C-alpha cells in the first residue's frame, strides 16, 4: 500500500471515529443515500463511499461518482499539506476534478476540515 493510500485509509478511519465528521457527512449527503468520490492518483484508482452509517474505501473505479479527483501522488500530498491552496492548484492544472467540483470542495471543507484531527491524521500518514 502506498503512502497516499495509507493516508486516505487513515482519513476514513478518523472520519468513522469523529462525531463532528459524521454530523458533517449527514448534512452533506442530505436526502441522498450517500456520496461517492473517486480518486485517480497516477496509476492508482480507488473511491470512497460516504453514508450516514459509515465511510469506506474501495479499490478501483466507480462507474458514476459524484466527483473524481485526478492528480499525481505528489500533487495530492501537496493538497493535503496545504488544503487552502486548492484554488491555485485547480487554476494551474496541478489537480483536476471531474464531475461536480462542489462535491469535492464539500468533502474538503465540510468533512475533512470539520475535525482537524482528520487532516492531521492524513498529514502524519504521509510522513
The CATH number of residue 69's host domain is 3.30.1050.10
Q: Could you give the CA distance from residue 86 to residue 82 in angstroms, rounded to a whole number?
A: 8
The number of folded domains in the chain is 1
106 SS3 class = helix
Given a cut of 90, is residue 124 above it in pLDDT? no
pLDDT, one tens digit per residue, over 81-100 is: 888 788 899 999 999 999 99
Share of the chain above pLDDT 90, in %: 51
Beta carbons within 8 Å of 108's beta carbon, 6+ residues apart: 83, 86
How would residue 34 be classed by pLDDT, with cut points 50, 70 and 90? very high
- Give the list of residues 6+ apart from residue 110 with CB closer than 8 angstroms, or none: 24, 27, 28
48-64 average pLDDT score = 94
pLDDT at 60 (0 to 100): 95
Domain that holds residue 38: 3-125
pLDDT at 1 (0 to 100): 56
Amino acid at each position: 500500500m502506498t503512502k497516499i493510500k495509507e493516508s486516505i485509509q487513515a482519513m476514513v478511519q478518523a472520519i468513522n471515529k469523529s462525531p463532528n465528521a459524521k454530523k458533517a457527512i449527514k448534512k452533506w449527503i442530505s436526502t441522498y443515500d450517500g456520496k461517492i468520490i473517486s480518486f485517480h492518483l497516477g496509476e492508482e484508482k480507488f473511491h470512497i463511499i460516504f453514508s450516514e452509517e459509515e465511510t469506506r474505501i474501495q479499490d478501483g473505479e466507480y462507474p458514476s461518482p459524484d466527483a473524481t479527483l485526478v492528480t499525481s501522488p505528489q500533487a495530492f500530498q501537496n493538497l493535503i499539506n496545504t488544503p487552502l491552496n486548492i484554488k491555485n492548484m485547480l487554476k494551474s492544472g496541478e489537480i483536476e476534478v471531474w464531475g461536480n467540483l462542489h462535491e469535492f470542495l464539500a468533502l474538503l471543507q465540510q468533512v475533512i476540515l470539520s475535525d482537524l484531527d482528520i487532516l492531521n491524521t492524513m498529514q502524519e500518514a504521509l510522513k
